[in-house]
Amino acid sequence: MTTQPARPIRLRFENLSKSYPATVRAGRNATGNLVLKDIELDVFEGEFLVIVGPSGCGKSTLLDLAAGLSLPTGGRMVLDGRTVTKPGPERSVVFQNYALFPWKTVFDNIAFALAAAGVPRRTQYERVRRVLALVGLEDAADRYPHQLSGGMKQRVAIARSLSVEPEVLLMDEPFGALDAQTREDLQVELRRLWRRNNMTIIFITHDIDEALSLGQRVAVMGRAPGRVVDVVQLPFQPDAAVDEIRTHPEYGELRRYIRAVLSHPDAATQAAV
């Protein structure tokens, strides 16, 4: 099912494993808790890759490793040929629970990320304005997070991540806490932003429909230990609208297949790439 386009690789999960040390309670025979095992996955430049997996399969851990927020216990995480050892301004993370700082206004939340990335103060104003316009929140600049709806908060979080003009956007179930309507709106918006900004996106979800509507490829994970079971290449055009994708003749079959692989990893027609 996978045809690899001849594109440069941006991120490479290279034989990656992650385990946490055994807890005291686990006793001395415990070998530690293996969360991710031998992850092999290439993410191409400008690609929209969705990782779908059941809860507890370590998909958030995978994203932390890509972000440089934690380090693998085996293998390595490679970005543009270099081993990732810490977070960097070329990668930006969007979290499920927005992670906005409640003591800062919308404007200051974004300016904070810019300052942390070393953007000089005098250009910050213009850039904050620009990304707020991008997500349609020009008027909310002076509000505090608690004055915003969930959808607006996540828009601000996305704007904050885009403000540093990352090459790679890492999204950890960003729409998981939103209602269905808002979630679909934001899916459409995210597709638009992705086409426009030419970013590489890794998007994590447990929702198959979301995976199919957003991604170009879908990596399906299994758990205990967390591993990539299959990578599915989607046949949809990058500029297809979400509605077009959902009515595509292959949509139902793909959905059934991914669902089957999620519940029975052995159902995968081929080993992971």
Partner 1 sequence: MVILACVWEVISRTGVINPLFLPPFSVVVTEVYHGFASGYLVQHVMASLGRAVPGLLLALLAGVPLGLALGTSGRLNTFIDPVVEVLRNTSALALLPVFTLMLGIGETSKIAMVFYAALWPILLGTINGLRGVDPLWIKAGRSMGLSGGKLFVKIVIPASLPSIFTGIRLAAAAGLLVLVAAEMVGSRAGLGYVINASQLDFDLPGMYAAILVLSVVGYATNAALVLVETHFLRWKQT
Q: Which is nearer to partner 1, 144 or 207 (CB)?
A: 144
Nearest to 38 by CA among 88, 92, 75, 77: 75
With CB under 8 A as the contact rule, the residue among 34, 95, 260, 265 that binds partner 1 is 95
Backbone φ and ψ for 258, nearest 5 degrees, come out as: -65, -40
With CB under 8 A as the contact rule, the residue among 42, 58, 59, 92 that binds partner 1 is 92
Q: Which is nearer to partner 1, 51 or 148 (CB)?
A: 148
Q: Which is nearer to partner 1, 117 or 260 (CB)?
A: 117
Q: Does 103 bind partner 1 (CB under 8 A)?
A: yes
Binding to partner 1, residues 33-72 (CB under 8 A):
67, 69
33-44 sheet: strands from edge to edge: 33-44, 9-20, 74-79, 82-83
Backbone φ and ψ for 80, nearest 5 degrees, come out as: 50, 45
Binding to partner 1, residues 188-217 (CB under 8 A):
none
Q: What angle do CA 259, 11, 166 make, to 5 degrees?
A: 105
| Burial (0-12, 13-18, 19+ Cβ within 10 Å), 182 | middle
In the complex, minimum distance from the CB of residue 156 to partner 1, in angstroms, rounded to a whole number? 12
In the complex, minimum distance from the CB of residue 97 to partner 1, in angstroms, rounded to a whole number? 6
Q: Which stretch binds partner 1 (CB under 8 A): 82-90, 197-205, 206-214, 258-266?
A: 82-90
Binding to partner 1, residues 110-169 (CB under 8 A):
112-113, 116-117, 144-146, 164
With CB under 8 A as the contact rule, the residue among 22, 101, 177, 267 that binds partner 1 is 101
Q: Which is nearer to partner 1, 89 or 265 (CB)?
A: 89
Nearest to 43 by CA among 257, 223, 215, 239: 215
Q: Which residues bind partner 1 (CB under 8 A)?
A: 67, 69, 86-89, 91-93, 95, 97, 99, 101-105, 112-113, 116-117, 144-146, 164
